Amino acid sequence: MMDSYKPQTSRIQHAADSGMRHQQEDEPARASEGLRFLLREQENLRRSKKPDSGGQHKDTDMLLRALVEAEIDGMAVANQLTALKETIDNLSTEKRLSKLHSASLGRQQELLLEKIGMFENTNRSLRDLLREWSEYEVRERREWLVWSAENEALRKKLADRETQNIRLFAKLTNKEKEASKLAEHLDFEKDNVKTTEELSRVLKSTRSHLESQLERAEAQKTQLTAQIQEMQQSHEQKQEELCALQAELQTLRQQREEKEQKQEQEELVVVVQRAQRAEESARQLMQKLQEK
């Protein structure tokens, strides 16, 4: 773009020939084409937007390239204005135009300055929108990563609790088997006692021992049952918390999508309006240049 500026300037200095007039008319059209390209890039960004970070990075690169090309087109318009000013100065010095023509050219210069100001404002607004969009995406991504880490930690904790519940159930089953074996052993001892004294003594001792073990087993069973109930309640509570977090995430996603859609529509309307005004001004300017 900058390499083509020097031959453009040399041709502008010969304003009388038709080739120079064609070059003057081409620059506003190129600036308008740059704005249309930027609008197409914005529309493609809105249609192809995806939640994955790779697609978002690609969309950002597309917008950045569009902004760079818009700035290059703005520079070309500014160069065109400089060349036109030099032509006006040369023609005024050589007295090749009347005062009326000089005033007309001065008015064209003012119109070009006005269009350049509008183009710079549009470019600045687009840059601000890109910055806000990038910051918003980074913030949303950070919040999603934090929630994902918390969700993963909660799932791991629930899995650990379930594993602990399984171990407690296994321990309780073993205690029940032990109690059953003790009861069978008591019955076996009863059958093997030959005399009343031996039976009474053995039964008394065994019964006391077994009752003590049974009491301990019952106490452990009660304790394990309470722990299992507590684990189940904790598990249900964690499940409810997980469901609530998932519902909250879904709500946040819907709100974000609605907000993004509304912002994109508003931004697109503003950009289209500005582009239409810029195109209309460029068209009027080309008509005036053709009339001259």
How does residue 22 score in pLDDT terms, banded at 50, 70 and 90? very low
Structure tokens at 8: 């453009």
Higher pLDDT, 78 or 237: 237
Rounded CA gap, 49 and 191, in Å? 83
Rounded CA gap, 96 and 246, in Å? 78
Question: pLDDT of 206-221, one tens digit each?
Answer: 888 888 888 888 888 8
Question: pLDDT of 138-187, one tens digit each?
Answer: 888 888 888 888 888 888 888 888 888 888 888 888 888 888 888 887 77
Of 17-31, 46-60, 179-193, 206-220, give the lowest mean pLDDT range: 17-31
Higher pLDDT, 189 or 175: 175
Neighbours of 73 (CB within 10 A): 23
Higher pLDDT, 53 or 170: 170
253 pLDDT more than 60: yes
Confidence at residue 44, expressed as pLDDT on a 0 to 100 scale: 58
DSSP letter at 183 equals: H
Residues in the chain: 292
Query: What is the mean predicted confidence (pLDDT) over 229-255?
Result: 87
31 pLDDT more than 60: no
3-state secondary structure 15-64: CCCHHHHHHHHHHHHHHHHHHHHHHHHHHHHHHCCCCCHHHHHHHHHHHH
41 pLDDT more than 80: no
Which of 120, 179, 145 minimizes the C-alpha distance to 53? 145
Give the SS3 label for residue 143: helix
Higher pLDDT, 74 or 244: 244
How does residue 47 score in pLDDT terms, banded at 50, 70 and 90? low
pTM, two decimal places:
0.30
Higher pLDDT, 23 or 9: 23
Higher pLDDT, 140 or 54: 140
Confidence at residue 263, expressed as pLDDT on a 0 to 100 scale: 84
Please report, for the chain, the start and end positions of each structural domain, with discontinuous segments joined by +. 5-139+263-291, 153-248
Residues 6+ apart with CB under 8 A from 57: none
Of 1-15, 219-233, 248-262, 278-292, give the lowest mean pLDDT range: 1-15
DSSP string, 66-95: HHHHHHHHHHHHHHHHHHHHHHHHHHHHHT
Structure tokens at 288: 């005036």
Rounded CA gap, 48 and 214, in Å? 70
- Alpha-carbon Rg for the chain, nearest whole angstrom, is 42
How does residue 132 score in pLDDT terms, banded at 50, 70 and 90? confident
Rama region for 97: left / alpha / beta (φ>0; ψ in -120 to 50; rest)? beta
Rounded CA gap, 235 and 227, in Å? 12
